[in-house]
Structure 1
Amino acid sequence: MKRFVLSTLVAAFATASLAETPMSAEEFDRYSLGKTFYYGSMGQAYGVEQYFDGRRVRWSFLDGQCADGHWYERDDMICFEYDVDPNLGPQCWTFFAGSGGLVARFQGDPAETTLYEVESAAEPMTCLGPEVGV
C-alpha cells in the first residue's frame, strides 16, 4: 500500500512539474551546488549525484561505484558527461523545480524516463575504492 501511495504521488508530482519552465544552467547550478541528491524513478531508488564547484559531479547507481564528470547547458537541457566511458557521450536532461524538489526528464527517451529528487543531503555520497585483487 505504501509503495502504491508513493508511486501515485510521484506520478502526480512529476506530471505537474513537467508543465513548468525548464531550469536554466544558472538556476540549476544555484539549486544543486554543494548538495547531494538521491533520485528515484517509478517509485524505486535510482541513483545519487553530488554537485561540486566548476559544474563537476559524481554519480552512482547506489552500488558504491562512482563516476566523476561534469555538466553543461545545451539546447535548454543540462547535459552530463562522465569519465567512466568516453564513448557514452552526453546524457542530457530537462530539469524542473517542483514543489518537492527537482524533476528531470531524459532527452531522446521515448518512454520519457523521469527522475525526481527523493532526498537532499549536505554529506558527501559514499564511493567504494577500486576493486583490488590478491
Structure 2
Amino acid sequence: MKQLAAVLALVPLPALAETAMSGEEFEAYMTGKTLTFSANGQPYGVEYYAPSQRVIWSFLDGACMQGEWYAEDRAICFVYDDDPEPKCWKVYKADNGIRAEFLDSAEPTILYEVDESAPLICDNMGS
C-alpha cells in the first residue's frame, strides 16, 4: 500500500487541478512590478502594477492605458479608463512566472510572464 501511495505521489496532477491565484496572492506578487508578457511565443504587452490595484498597460506601441484590477470569483478583472468593459483572467503561479488565461473570448488567449521590465515609456502620457 505504501508503494502505491509513493507511486501516486509522483504522478503529476492535471492542469485542471491548479488553483487560480486569489486577489491577495495576485496583489502580493504583482504590486510594484512592470512585467512583459508573451502570447503564442510572440511579444504581447507590458503592464505596470501600482499600489492600490492601479495598472498601466501597453501593447508595446508606446500608447498606454491606465486602469485598475479587482478580484472576482478567483478571477482577476481589469477595467481601463478608456474601456469600461471588464477583461477577466484566471491567473496561475508557475515555476517561471505567471500564466494568465483570458475568460471572455471564444478563442483562448494565454499570456505568459516573460520577465520583469524596465519602466514603461508612454508616448501618450508624458511617461
Partner of 1:107: 103
Give the TM-score, by structure 2 length. Answer: 0.82
Q: Distance in 2 between matches of 1:18 and 1:38?
A: 25
- TM-score of the aligned structures, taking structure 1 as reference length: 0.78
> Does structure 1 conserve the Cα–Cα contact (< 8 Å) formed by 2:100 and 2:111?
yes
2:124 maps to 129
Q: Kindly, what percent of the aligned residue pairs are identical?
A: 47
Q: Deviations over 1:22-70 (max 9, x none)?
A: 0000000000000001000001000000000100000000000000000
Q: Which runs of 5+ in 2 are unaligned?
A: 1-13
Q: Would you tell me which structure has more strand in proportion to its own residues?
A: 2
Which one of the candidate residues 55, 72, 92 is aligned to 1:96? 92
User: What is the count of residue pairs matched by the alignment?
Assistant: 113
Q: Separation in 1 of the partners of 2:114 and 2:15?
A: 14
In structure 2, relative to structure 1, the CA distance for the partners of 1:64 and 1:77 (3 Å cut) is same
SS of the counterpart of 2:28?
helix
Task: Quote the offset at 1:104 in angstroms.
Answer: 0.2
Q: Of the candidates 65, 74, 81, which is equivalent to residue 72 of structure 2?
A: 74
Mapped partners of 2:65, 2:73: distance in 1 = 24
Higher Cα radius of gyration: 2
Gaps in structure 1 of 5+ consecutive residues: 1-15
C-alpha deviation, 1:108, in angstroms: 2.7
Residue 19 to residue 118, structure 1, CA distance change in 2 (3 Å):
farther
Task: Indicate the SS of the match to 1:127.
Answer: coil
Question: In structure 1, what residue type is equivalent to 2:98?
Answer: L
* Residue in structure 2 matched with residue 43 of structure 1 by the alignment: 41
RMSD: 1.8
More displaced 10-residue stretch of structure 1: 95-104 or 105-114: 105-114
Residues 22 and 76 of structure 1 are in contact (CA less than 8 Å); yes or no, is this contact kept in structure 2?
Answer: yes
Cα drift, residue 19 of structure 1: 4.8
